[in-house]
């Protein structure tokens, strides 16, 4: 998937105790800006209320094959009140809904439902929708450990994997029936992450991406320095998203307490000068350079060898400008595709577009500094030659995936 429209997920829910966790899963997708259509089997409705899912997703829950939605009285006006699909009255929900979905995820998937799918049966809306689908299908099985270990379930599992169905979990642990073993549904966050990497996998395959992240630290003396409030979260999220999309990622990081995303090569630096040198050493052969680091514009002209002692007189620091890393990379004869970040405290669009033009960047992501620095969420605007594209507030990894998605469109 390479566009930035709201991706659509069909969340299938079958009859198991873990059905209550489907509400949390729906919430994660909604928070990340996805449209979610819940489809429940009749058995599922004994475990979790359709009203909960309708209230969360803002769409009537689909259930029966014969045109029934659950809790239609909760329906709201506009998009949030519509079911996924053109909402025609032709009784073809199973076709319309699956045509608009980017992915179907069944969580929990019961032993019964897996058996049904493995045989290609279609005797309720969810199984019919899975059979009629034109998009990938992912299952998160959840059942008692003996049910999971039963040769019949394992046969069905093998068949489903052979048919190209993605399986997430199950996990091992304490079960609703009081037993302990393999069969617990994976946690909603793990299912969400698996779906994300599945949706975005491969869009940057074969590409080399260089990213800077975090603050820099310019020493004044051995114990003091000039730095800023950048946490590095956005840059690290971009490194994770680019890696997830199949890129070979090198992350040049200022001082942060963050863990290196899996599969990413990290180089630690402290000052803007060190970051400049590291970038220039690594930039050759890169397809993309994403400059997220909050690089100090100035550094002290001199760094004291010893701690500066306090006295009553005013102290003046002489600051000299640092080299502009992004502009230097963008000006290289064989420059990679450059993406800049602009954190502004006022006139966001105006200042950001001026920066993009001045540095001749094909793409720039703007945010309001006072809201973004250090926070887990960000509200962003992507600027490129085709105009501005707002990214409503979401967690930084979700935003990073959207930026990577847009980037992939340019590169491919």
Positions marked active-site = 177
Give the interface segment with ligand FMN, choosing from 12-20, 24-32, 196-204, 252-260 (CB under 6 A). Answer: 12-20
In the complex with ligand FMN, the residue whose CB is nearer, 170 or 225, is 170
**3-state helix vs strand vs coil in the chain, percent to 5:** 35, 25, 40
41-70 positions binding ligand FMN, by CB under 6 A: 41, 43-44
CB of 24 vs ligand FMN, minimal distance in Å: 16
Q: Are 403 and 381 a contacting pair, CB within 8 Å?
A: no
CB of 64 vs ligand FMN, minimal distance in Å: 12
**Half-sphere exposure (Cβ direction) of 14: Cα atoms closer than 13 Å:** 24
Q: Which two tokens stand for residue 123?
A: 């005797």
CB of 127 vs ligand FMN, minimal distance in Å: 8
Provide the 3-class DSSP secondary structure of residue 184. strand
In the complex with ligand FMN, the residue whose CB is nearer, 16 or 336, is 16
CB of 14 vs ligand FMN, minimal distance in Å: 3
Say how far apart CA 241 and CA 236 lie, in whole Å: 9
CB of 25 vs ligand FMN, minimal distance in Å: 16
Assess 157 for contact with ligand FMN (CB under 6 A): no
In the complex with ligand FMN, the residue whose CB is nearer, 14 or 196, is 14
**Half-sphere exposure (Cβ direction) of 26: Cα atoms closer than 13 Å:** 27
In the complex with ligand FMN, the residue whose CB is nearer, 23 or 245, is 23
In the complex with ligand FMN, the residue whose CB is nearer, 43 or 258, is 43
Give the interface segment with ligand FMN, choosing from 15-23, 99-107, 302-310, 382-390 (CB under 6 A). Answer: 15-23
Choice from 104, 142, 329, 366 touching ligand FMN (CB under 6 A): 142
Q: Are 21 and 49 a contacting pair, CB within 8 Å?
A: no
Say how far apart CA 220 and CA 304 lie, in whole Å: 6
272-331 positions binding ligand FMN, by CB under 6 A: none
Q: What are the distances in angstroms from CA 256 to CA 139, 232, 279? A: 37, 6, 18
CB atoms near residue 399 (< 10 Å): 27
In the complex with ligand FMN, the residue whose CB is nearer, 40 or 242, is 40
The verdict on whether omega for the bond into residue 53 sits within 30 degrees of 0, i.e. cis, is: no
Say how far apart CA 309 and CA 315 lie, in whole Å: 10
Looking at residue 344, the DSSP 8-state letter turns out to be E
Inter-helix orientation angle 188-200/21-31, to 10°: 40
CB of 87 vs ligand FMN, minimal distance in Å: 25
At 237, phi and psi to the nearest 5? Answer: -65, -40
Say how far apart CA 267 and CA 348 lie, in whole Å: 31
Choice from 8, 10, 12, 14 touching ligand FMN (CB under 6 A): 14
Choice from 143, 226, 339, 407 touching ligand FMN (CB under 6 A): 143
Give the interface segment with ligand FMN, choosing from 11-19, 69-77, 364-372, 378-386 (CB under 6 A). Answer: 11-19
**Residue-by-residue DSSP string for 351-400:** HHHHHHHHTT-SEEEEEEHHHHTT-SEEEEEEEETTEEEEEEEEEHHHHH
The owner of tokens 């979905």 is: 101
- Give how many residues touch ligand FMN by CB under 6 A: 15
- Binding string, residues 80-119; x marks residues near ligand FMN by CB under 6 A: ------------------------------xxxx------
Choice from 7, 9, 11, 15 touching ligand FMN (CB under 6 A): 15
330-359 positions binding ligand FMN, by CB under 6 A: none
CB of 44 vs ligand FMN, minimal distance in Å: 5
In the complex with ligand FMN, the residue whose CB is nearer, 49 or 273, is 49
Give the interface segment with ligand FMN, choosing from 40-48, 207-215, 336-344, 359-367 (CB under 6 A). Answer: 40-48
List beta partners, residue 109: 141
Q: What are the distances in angstroms from CA 388 to CA 2, 4, 102, 382, 409? A: 17, 12, 25, 6, 15
**What residue ranges bind ligand FMN (CB under 6 A)?**
14-18, 41, 43-44, 110-113, 142-143, 147
């Amino acid at each position: 998937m390479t566009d930035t429209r709201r991706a659509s997920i069909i969340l299938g829910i079958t009859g198991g105790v873990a059905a209550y966790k489907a509400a949390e899963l729906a919430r994660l997708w909604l928070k990340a800006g996805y449209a979610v259509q819940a489809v429940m089997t009749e058995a599922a409705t004994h475990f979790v209320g359709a009203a909960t899912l309708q209230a969360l997703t803002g769409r009537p829950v689909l259930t029966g094959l014969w045109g029934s939605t659950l809790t239609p009285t909760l329906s709201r006006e506009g998009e949030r009140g519509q079911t996924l699909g053109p909402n025609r009255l032709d009784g073809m929900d199973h076709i319309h809904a699956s045509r608009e979905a980017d992915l179907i995820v069944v969580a929990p998937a019961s032993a019964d439902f897996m058996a049904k799918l493995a045989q290609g049966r279609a005797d309720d809306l969810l199984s019919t929708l899975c059979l009629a689908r034109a998009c990938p299908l992912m299952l998160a099985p959840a059942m008692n450990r003996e049910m999971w270990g039963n040769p019949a379930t394992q046969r069905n599992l093998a068949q489903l994997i052979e048919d190209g169905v993605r399986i997430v979990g199950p996990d091992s642990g304490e079960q609703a029936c009081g037993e302990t073993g393999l069969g617990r549904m994976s946690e909603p966050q793990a299912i969400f992450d698996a779906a994300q990497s599945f949706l975005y996998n491969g869009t940057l395959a074969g590409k080399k991406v260089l990213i800077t992240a975090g603050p820099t630290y310019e020493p004044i003396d051995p114990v003091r320095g000039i730095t800023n409030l950048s946490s590095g979260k956005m840059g690290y999220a971009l490194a994770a998203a680019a890696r997830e999309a199949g890129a070979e990622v090198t992350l040049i990081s200022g001082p942060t307490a963050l863990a290196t995303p899996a599969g990413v090569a990290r180089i630690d630096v402290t000052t803007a000068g060190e970051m400049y040198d590291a970038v220039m050493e690594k930039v050759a052969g890169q397809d993309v350079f994403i400059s997220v680091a909050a690089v100090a514009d100035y550094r002290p002209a001199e760094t004291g060898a010893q701690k500066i002692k306090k006295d009553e007189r005013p102290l003046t620091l002489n600051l000299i400008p640092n080299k502009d890393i992004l502009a230097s990379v963008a000006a290289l004869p064989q420059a990679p595709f450059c993406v800049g970040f602009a954190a502004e405290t006022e006139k966001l669009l105006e200042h950001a577009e001026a920066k993009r033009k001045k540095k001749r960047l094909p793409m720039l992501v703007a945010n309001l500094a006072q809201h973004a620095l250090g926070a887990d969420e960000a509200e962003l605007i992507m600027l490129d030659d085709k105009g501005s594209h707002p990214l409503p507030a979401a967690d930084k990894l979700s935003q990073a995936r959207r930026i990577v998605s847009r980037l992939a469109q340019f590169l491919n």
